[in-house]
């Protein structure tokens, strides 16, 4: 006798958790899920058929060669398109930061970036209050050292594809920018004269988005939500030992939660909504590009 779809799906998840506890090589990570294109349920990323509605789940978007789909060597998550762009921008800006710090004679063994370089390249600073609003955007792509950017890019590479799978590239771009900016706005209100930079506000936004979206997925969403809260706990523990911008973290998390709960998942259901999100994504890209252009003019 076949099990009901929901019970069957829970059984599959239990089997995967059991096998992973014994080091099975073919077990998928607990957060490796995607959304069924028909019923919008969270399903296993490798599922060919949705166990809830019985429809074909369609092929998984290719993000690499052999091994586990979406994983480099079956272990390291590979970001999807919009996530890849965000990672590339962060890495490129860090290379510029490091080069400028080297030229200024202030480089450290751990790749630390000087405050003067951070200030010149657009970190969050009191100058925002005098009209340099673009710092709210450029600060999202700057980092203070190797460990800082390493931690943030690890989180972005792991969480970005999850958000992009549940929503789409256009929505991801908008949500990433909005949560990052909101994070630095709260940071500016909390500490108007402090110098701050990093992608962690937007990354906390991604966690908030996934937590908010999980409330639409019943029992499975509850399980997924419990995994996501671990990220929040890890980052909170990290903030105890390092000097981090907690206000930006809180702003990103809360705004992400609200947006994740309110914004419909998946591809837009109608042509007008698709045009709207594509327009918002284009505006987001223009805002990011324009902010970097203003930063470059300020340097010159």
Catalytic residues: 200, 249
Do 9 and 223 touch, CB atoms closer than 8 A?
A: no
Among residues 117, 135, 116, 115, the alpha carbon closest in space to that of 125 is found at 135
Other beta carbons within 10 Å of 142 = 27
Query: Which residue reads 């470059």 in tokens?
Result: 296
- The structure tokens listed for 262 are 């309110």
Instruction: Give the DSSP per-residue string, 251-279.
Output: HHHHHHHHHHHHSPPSS-SSHHHHHHHHH
153 closest CA partner among 211, 210, 95: 95
Residue 145 near residue 57 (C-beta atoms within 8 A): no
Which structure tokens are listed for 221?
């969403």
- The Cα-based distances of 195 to 17, 87, 291 in angstroms read 43, 22, 18
């Amino acid at each position: 006798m076949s099990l009901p779809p929901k019970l069957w799906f829970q059984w599959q998840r239990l089997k995967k958790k059991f096998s992973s506890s014994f080091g099975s090589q073919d077990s998928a990570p607990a957060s490796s899920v995607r959304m069924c294109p028909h019923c919008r349920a969270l399903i296993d990323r490798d599922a060919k058929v949705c166990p809830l509605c019985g429809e074909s789940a369609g092929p998984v978007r290719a993000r690499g060669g052999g091994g586990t789909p979406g994983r480099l060597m079956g272990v390291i998550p590979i970001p999807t398109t919009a996530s890849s762009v965000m990672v590339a921008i962060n890495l490129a800006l860090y290379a510029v930061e490091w080069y400028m710090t080297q030229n200024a004679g202030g480089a450290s063994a751990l790749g630390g970036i000087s405050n003067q370089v951070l200030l010149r390249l657009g970190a969050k600073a009191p100058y925002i209050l005098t009209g340099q609003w673009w710092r709210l955007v450029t600060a999202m792509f700057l980092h203070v050292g190797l460990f800082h950017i390493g931690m943030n890019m690890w989180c972005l590479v792991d969480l970005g594809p999850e958000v992009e799978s549940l929503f789409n590239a256009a929505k991801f771009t908008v949500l990433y920018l909005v949560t990052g900016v909101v994070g630095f706005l709260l940071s500016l209100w909390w500490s108007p004269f402090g110098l701050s930079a990093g992608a962690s506000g937007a990354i906390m936004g991604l966690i908030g988005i996934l937590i908010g979206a999980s409330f639409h997925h019943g029992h499975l969403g509850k399980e997924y939500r419990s995994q996501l809260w671990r990220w929040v706990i890890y980052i909170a523990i990290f903030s105890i030992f390092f000097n981090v911008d907690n206000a930006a973290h809180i702003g990103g998390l809360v705004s992400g939660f609200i947006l994740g709960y309110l914004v419909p998942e998946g591809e837009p259901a109608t042509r007008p909504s698709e045009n709207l999100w594509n327009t918002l994504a284009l505006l987001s890209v223009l805002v990011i590009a324009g902010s970097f252009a203003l930063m470059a003019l300020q340097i010159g």
